Amino acid sequence: MKKQISTLGLTATLALAIGGSLFLAGNSVAEKAVPLPPAAYEQPAATSGAQTAIFAGGCFWGVQAVFQHTKGVINAVSGYAGGDKATANYGAVTRGTTGHAEAVEITYDPAQVSYAKLLQIYFSVAHDPTQLNRQGPDRGTQYRSAIFYKDAQQKEVAQRYIAQLDAARAFPAKIVTQLAPLAAFHPAEAYHQDYATRNPQSPYIVTFDAPKIVNLKAVMPEVFRDKPVLVAARK
């Protein structure tokens, strides 16, 4: 079932904050970060103005939180991509038949962080790109690994980086991330926004998402920001 973990399960995998780092006692179920090389190819820098990227990688709570803690990100919104507007709601998407993936729209300043760097974070920290239609405890096509590119440049950067990582055997299995043109992005319901920040004691967040933030700081400290940029702060 979607985003379910019992309090008993949390006790078995209790998260302990020790010296600023997070460790899972007992059987660790959180995804481990994979240190990755930067992309060998980057798209030409935008002349000016904010840009957007759309990534899907399992539950959007954790993906959103990772990019909210990334320097150069202006906003990160949880939502749905890949299906029709009529079915872009949580009740429909959780059935796994709408074509939507839980996704995050990242608005960023290309003068501070590049699209290629966002891809590096996405593959290294935000999710496991070798899992097909699942992430952690969540199962279904709505949890697939997918990059929704907005133009040919984004597509090329993503394609080349995936090929680079596969050629280097950066992961123990082949990357299964779907590349798809962005038709539309639909923001999720308000209660999904900033979920990890607003619910730090949630068993799901503690077990599956909080470790991603620790991983970002540990693996890519140069892009880590301690205070997240929140959707609520922009309203």
Catalytic residue among 22, 36, 39, 59: 59
Of 15, 117, 4, 132, nearest to 70 by C-alpha is 117
Active site residue 181: no
**What residues act catalytically?**
59
